[in-house]
Amino acid sequence: MTQNFAKRLDQRILLVPDVRLPMVHAGDVAKAAIAAAERNESINKAYNITGDSVSLGDVFELLRELRKSSCRILRIPIGLGRDFDNNAAYRDLQLTYRSLREGWSEALLGSQ
């Protein structure tokens, strides 16, 4: 998915539906699985393992900055979004998630 998103910035102009979507780094999902396996309070529970919802336009703006792209991003406001209640995961599993910048930087540039 990372490279598919990044390749879109090769265009001169990118039209982006400005929807809000939850994002999470695969490494954070792995940390959550380990935390759930180690804690008794997680037995027989299901968790939403996701970061906060972010604007797809914000994602592409960040990617443009990280890749030093000159692509012009035009946001199309459509007023859609999805949020998940991830409070139980924060509480029971004591999770912290990478920031959007940390996650995408790592995915695009590798661990530093």
Q: Dihedral (C-alpha) 50, 54, 60, 63: value to the nearest 10 degrees?
A: -50
- Mean pLDDT score of the chain, rounded to an integer? 88
pLDDT tens readout for residues 43-75: 999 999 998 889 999 999 999 998 898 999 999
* 79 vs 62, residue with greater confidence: 62
| pLDDT tens per residue across span 23-32 | 899 999 999 9
Cα 56 from chain centre: 10
- CATH code of 2-107, in short, is 3.40.50.720
Q: What is the pTM of this model?
A: 0.80
